């Protein structure tokens, strides 16, 4: 597990300015993994962002947009990207 966390840190050092996740699921799991392994998080807790904020600002109903998913990490990521695009488009229309 330590190798995976170190690889993730190397990725974050090169690419990450903010961390998009579900604040009550992904972020606590990653944070706890680093804590258990006595490693510092590769990002500051203030850089965490949550899709729920974007959904709320755009006034889209997240529950109406749900698709059948297998809870595969890649599928979940692609679904969230697609949904974020809908949110950003909705925000543009609200201007």
Q: What is the average per-residue pLDDT within 71-95?
A: 86
**Does pLDDT of 62 surpass 80?**
no
- The gap from C-alpha 19 to its chain's centroid, in whole angstroms, comes to 6
Helix (H, G, I), strand (E, B) or coil at 21: strand
Higher-confidence position of 25 and 10: 10
Q: What is the average per-residue pLDDT within 43-52?
A: 82
Helix (H, G, I), strand (E, B) or coil at 49: strand
**Does pLDDT of 29 surpass 80?**
yes
| Cα gap 12→9, rounded to integer Å | 5
**Does pLDDT of 5 surpass 90?**
yes
Average pLDDT over the chain, rounded to an integer? 83
- Beta strands 48-50 and 19-21 are parallel
Answer for the pair 34, 12: CB distance below 8 angstroms, yes or no: no
């Amino acid at each position: 597990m330590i190798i995976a966390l170190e690889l993730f840190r190397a990725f974050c050092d090169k690419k990450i300015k903010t961390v998009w996740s579900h604040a009550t699921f992904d972020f606590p799991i990653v944070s706890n993994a680093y804590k258990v392994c006595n490693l510092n998080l590769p990002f500051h807790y203030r850089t965490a962002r949550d899709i729920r904020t974007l959904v709320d600002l755009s006034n889209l109903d997240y529950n109406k947009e749900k698709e059948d998913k297998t809870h595969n990490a890649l599928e979940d990521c692609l679904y969230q990207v697609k949904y974020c695009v809908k949110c950003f488009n909705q925000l543009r229309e609200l201007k």
